[in-house]
Amino acid sequence: MKQGAGRFHRYMGIKDIGSLPKGKDPIIFVSNHQNGMMDPLLITSILKPQLHWLTRADVFWNPVFRMVLFALHQMPIYRQRDRLTDLRERNNAIWECCIDRLEIGAVISIFPEGNHNPQKTIRGLKSGLSDLLGRSLTKHESLKRIKVIPLGLDYEDYPGFRRRFRLRMGKPVEWVDLYDAETEKVNFNQLTDRIQSAIREIAVDIRPYEKYDDLLPYVNALRTTEASAKAWTEITRSLEKISMLKDMGKISKAANQLREAGFESPKMRVEAWGVSQLDVRKKKLWAVALRPLSWIANAPTFMQQWYLNYRGDKVKAIEFRSTLKIGAGMVVYPLSWTLTAIFLGGIASSNGLSFFGWSPFFEVFFAYWAFATFGNSFYGWLQGHLHDHKDALDGERFWNDQKSAALREAWMNYIAVVKKHL
């Protein structure tokens, strides 16, 4: 699953505002949560430490999911909506397990929002993190050394194959001073403020929520997954300024005019347009030249890939599409390669076809497997660059085609109005 997650998205690297602490201090990662199971899969595949996850319990009811979740070292945390008579006892057992792991220097990861949402916002936090920290310090004073480190997940396109993904890491959040020895608890409200502020420094947070649809096109056009450290700082400042605006009437009006001019989100990729004509991507003709080669390389996987994409895109919840595609692909692809390799190996064996003097069956079997795996990887790598080329063509067409004149004028007005408020 981890390998599949790494292949599906186009990983742009980790941008450290902070960095992992040296030594063996226990760590609790806290992250925004937008893209279903893909979020923990990507974090697990990117970060080196062995991660232990706290995950809402209802996803463990499915036996297939439960097997995958346990394999990823995930532990269930129970909520009131689970309607269990022994809920408190179950959670107490999980907390004790977490504390024991932290005591020996484990790394735990939590989505403090408590659930996922495909919108690029930082939602209110649940009490799980403050409960865990309070219990940890009460049981072991030495656990004041726990480092709470924020992570920011940034997707260019949640279900899009080989679309960009960026992971950002923030500075550790101070929390020990919020512990009350009398109540044996960490102040929830103050901790929430600190965690939300820390995540906002490293993740896209569009506020106010009521104006989300009006602001999303502008944010997407900034291509946040590609932003340099300097550009990212400016983006977060801009988002903070927007969130503090008392009157967004002009921005909403410009956004409505944009939609009236024919803008359809998310069908239209404003990432290809940018905020000005200068932002249009560069063409990659070399990628186009290699496209036929990638088709040949991916031939063993093409039909399965097409079918899984077709079925995955039928899933109503956009945040589950990529997870379904990856999960199914990690089973279907190796199985289909194996069966085909056995079939071809049998033909080679029956005809005595040997190229290196080894067993004809195993020669063909392993050759086909190598070709299928390498070919699929090559195809995925090239797809990312072909996306860029298509964006370049779309951007060039948008800024120069007369047919786009009305939409282009509305877009330029929308961008100008937003920038004016910054």
Nearest-10 Cα torsion for 286, 287, 290, 292: -130
Our measurement of the distance from residue 218's CA atom to the centroid of its chain's CA atoms, rounded to an integer in Å, reads: 20
pLDDT greater than 90 at residue 383: yes
What is the average pLDDT score of the chain? 89
| DSSP element (H, E) containing 221 | helix 212-221
Of the ranges 8-22, 56-70, 397-411, the best mean pLDDT one: 397-411
pLDDT tens by residue, 330-339 = 889 999 999 9
pLDDT greater than 60 at residue 2: no
Which of 81-85, 136-140, 166-170, 386-390 shows the lowest mean pLDDT across its residues? 81-85
**What is the mean predicted confidence (pLDDT) over 59-84?**
78
Query: What pLDDT sits at residue 53?
Result: 85
DSSP label at residue 173: B
pLDDT greater than 70 at residue 203: yes
- Side by side, which strands form the sheet with 10-16? 10-16, 164-169, 147-155, 27-31, 107-110, 51-56, 74-77
pLDDT band at 236 (very low <50, low <70, confident <90, very high): very high
Between helix 87-103 and helix 128-139 the angle, nearest 10°, is: 60
pLDDT tens by residue, 284-305 = 999 999 999 999 999 999 999 9
pLDDT band at 193 (very low <50, low <70, confident <90, very high): very high
**What is the mean predicted confidence (pLDDT) over 73-83?**
77
Half-sphere exposure of residue 312, counting CA atoms within 13 Å on the CB side? 21
pLDDT band at 74 (very low <50, low <70, confident <90, very high): confident
Query: What pLDDT sits at residue 4?
Result: 60
Q: Which of 212, 203, 235 is nearest to 30 (CA)?
A: 203
Query: What pLDDT sits at residue 356?
Result: 59
| DSSP element (H, E) containing 271 | helix 270-273
Q: Which of 79, 236, 103, 110 is nearest to 173 (CA)?
A: 110
- Contact call for residues 26 and 132 (beta carbons, < 8 A): no
Query: What pLDDT sits at residue 391?
Result: 96
- Contact call for residues 255 and 217 (beta carbons, < 8 A): yes
pLDDT band at 3 (very low <50, low <70, confident <90, very high): low
**Percentage of residues of the chain with pLDDT beyond 90:** 61
Strands 51-56 and 107-110: parallel
Q: How far apart are CA 389 and CA 286, in angstroms?
A: 10
Secondary structure class of 168 (helix, strand, coil) = strand
Residues making up the chain, counted from first to last = 422
Q: The whole model's pTM is what?
A: 0.88
pLDDT greater than 90 at residue 61: no
Query: What pLDDT sits at residue 349?
Result: 79
pLDDT greater than 60 at residue 19: yes
Which of 40-54, 74-88, 215-229, 236-250 shows the lowest mean pLDDT across its residues? 74-88
The partner residues of 151 in beta bridges, in order of sequence, read 31, 169
Query: What pLDDT sits at residue 108?
Result: 92
Helices (H) and strands (E) in the chain, counts: 15, 9
Cβ atoms within 10 A of the Cβ of 363, count?
Answer: 18
What domains, with CATH codes, occur in the chain?
2-205 (3.40.1130.10), 285-400 (no CATH)
pLDDT greater than 80 at residue 185: yes
pLDDT greater than 80 at residue 56: no
**Percentage of residues of the chain with pLDDT beyond 70:** 96
Half-sphere exposure of residue 391, counting CA atoms within 13 Å on the CB side? 21
**What is the mean predicted confidence (pLDDT) over 130-140?**
93
H-type helices in 72-211, by residue range? 87-103, 128-139, 188-200
- Contact call for residues 15 and 135 (beta carbons, < 8 A): no
**What is the mean predicted confidence (pLDDT) over 169-190?**
94
